[in-house]
Structure 1
Amino acid sequence: MALKTIQYDNKSFDISYEIINQSSKKDIIILHGWGSNKDIMSKNFKNHLKSFRHIYIDLPGFGKSPTEYVLTTNDYTNIMELFLSAISASKDTIMGHSYGGKIATKLNPKNLILLSSAGIVEEKSAKVKTKIKMAKFFKTLGLGGITKIFRSKDVDNMSQNMYETFKNVLNEDFTEEFKNFSGKAYIFWGESDTATSLESGKKIASLIKNSQFKSYEGTHFFFVENAKDISETIENGIL
């Protein structure tokens, strides 16, 4: 593990990262999803994609990259731009899982790899809508503390700044970003994904003109069982 300090918006960010296959000349940047970390991605892909130098990164606020600041997706993108430049890494090929897929898309690589990416706003279930209404009702009564019981499980044990960050990035519509992406996209999805639905994956594939879509049995972390096949598809397409 290595650490690089980045200065952005008059703030310091310590970015934890790991590089595998140091001698390879082609870089692949690998970004984890919300609530995850670089170790989960490394564990599943480090024995594959052997033609690439893997760069696994803990996004600020996750893993071993602490932060006390409230951030937006634009902030994350800008921080990653500065970080990649600081370590002299190419951003030709970037993989992103879930929330990491949005950052990967905004970094505008030549080769974009999306694993059950966030970015399509989906209709909320009746249960979720009810929770939101109840939370708003208690907040109007000045009982904001009670609203914590209505929060998503994604924010359990989350610091206040990361909870505010979560609210900033949760319902972003990336339709235009996907539509305007001009590189090559490799899109992979879990057919039983309940966090980002299979229909969202198909929509992203329809929005990106030069894209290839493949789905697998599995949920939001479908890549755990399918990393080898995903890697072979990427290598066959890029190399």
Structure 2
Amino acid sequence: MALKSIQYKQHTFDISYEIVNPEAQIDLIILHGWGSNKNLMKQSFSSYMDGFRHIYIDLPGFGNSTCSMALTTADVARIVELFMIHINAQKDIIMGHSFGGKVALVLEPKILVLVASAGIYVEKPLKIKAKIALFKLFKLLGLSKFRSLFVADDAKELSEYMYQTFKNVVNDDFSDEFSKYEGRALLFWGKEDSATPLSSAKKINELIKDSTLEVYDGDHYFFMKYAADISKKIETEFLKSLGH
């Protein structure tokens, strides 16, 4: 594990990262999802794709990376971009799982790999809407100390900066951004995913002009079981992009 200090908007972010196959010429940036860290992605993919220099990053506020201000998805992408400049990494291929998928999209790589990506707004169930309305009422009455009873599991135990970041990013609708992306996109999805449902995958596949969708058995973390197959498809696609 290594650390790089990045300056952004007069704040310092220590970004933790790990590089696998450091001598390889093609960069593969791998970004984890919300509440996760680089180790989960490394555990899944580091044994494959030997021809690429894998760069596993802890996003700000996750794993061993620090966060000292509330961020938007665009802020996170800019911090990753500044980090990439520091280590002289190119935007050849960027893979993102869940929240990391939105960050990968904003970075506009040549090949975008979306693994159960967030970014399509999904209407909340009535139960959740009622919970939000009740919390707003409690807040109005000065009872926001009961916040922990209302926040999503993904937001519990977060620092104030990360809780604000969660609120900033959780309902992002990136439909426009997906439709404007001009590179090649590979979409990999779990059939039983309830966090980012298959309907989101189908919509993203329609929005991105040059994209393919592969569906696997499994939930939001299906890729841990199918990393070998996903890796093979990424390698094949990269070779095609070179005209081989």
Same fold? TM cut 0.5: yes
Greater alpha carbon shift after TM alignment, 6-15 vs 204-213: 6-15
Secondary structure (helix, strand or coil) at the match of 2:15 reads strand
Tell me how far apart the structure 1 counterparts of residues 22 and 140 of structure 2 sit (CA, whole Å). 55
Secondary structure (helix, strand or coil) at the match of 1:77 reads helix
Tell me how far apart the structure 2 counterparts of residues 36 and 201 of structure 1 sit (CA, whole Å). 21
How far does residue 120 in structure 1 lie from its aligned partner after superposition? 0.3
**2:40 matched residue in structure 1:** 40
Whether 1:23 aligns to 2:23 is yes
Which amino acid letter does the alignment assign opposite residue 155 of structure 1? A
5 Å matches for 1:162-181?
A: 162-181=162-181
Which amino acid letter does the alignment assign opposite residue 127 of structure 2? K
How far does residue 137 in structure 1 lie from its aligned partner after superposition? 1.5
Tell me how far apart the structure 2 counterparts of residues 202 and 49 of structure 1 sit (CA, whole Å). 27
Percent identity between matched residues is 53
**1:83 matched residue in structure 2:** 83
Q: Deviations over 1:63-107 (max 9, x none)?
A: 000222111111111111111011001112100000000010000
5 Å matches for 1:73-222?
A: 73-222=73-222
**2:49 matched residue in structure 1:** 49
Q: Deviations over 1:116-172 (max 9, x none)?
A: 000000011121111111111111211111232011000121111100110011111
Tell me how far apart the structure 2 counterparts of residues 212 and 77 of structure 1 sit (CA, whole Å). 24
Where does the alignment leave 5 or more consecutive residues of structure 1 unmatched? none
Tell me how far apart the structure 2 counterparts of residues 69 and 11 of structure 1 sit (CA, whole Å). 8
Question: How many residue pairs end up in the alignment?
Answer: 239
Tell me how far apart the structure 2 counterparts of residues 148 and 77 of structure 1 sit (CA, whole Å). 29
How far does residue 232 in structure 1 lie from its aligned partner after superposition? 0.5
Which amino acid letter does the alignment assign opposite residue 69 of structure 1? M
Which amino acid letter does the alignment assign opposite residue 170 of structure 2? L
Q: Is the 8 A contact 2:8 2:79 kept in 1?
A: yes
Which amino acid letter does the alignment assign opposite residue 160 of structure 2? Q
Secondary structure (helix, strand or coil) at the match of 1:186 reads strand
**2:242 matched residue in structure 1:** none
Q: Is the 8 A contact 2:12 2:68 kept in 1?
A: no
Secondary structure (helix, strand or coil) at the match of 2:235 reads helix
Q: Supply the RMSD in Å over aligned alpha carbons.
A: 0.8
How far does residue 7 in structure 1 lie from its aligned partner after superposition? 1.0
Tell me how far apart the structure 2 counterparts of residues 165 and 180 of structure 1 sit (CA, whole Å). 25
TM-score (norm 1): 0.98
Tell me how far apart the structure 2 counterparts of residues 191 and 209 of structure 1 sit (CA, whole Å). 22
Runs of 4+ in 1 over 3 A off after TM superposition: none
How far does residue 216 in structure 1 lie from its aligned partner after superposition? 0.5
**2:234 matched residue in structure 1:** 234
Tell me how far apart the structure 2 counterparts of residues 163 and 11 of structure 1 sit (CA, whole Å). 18
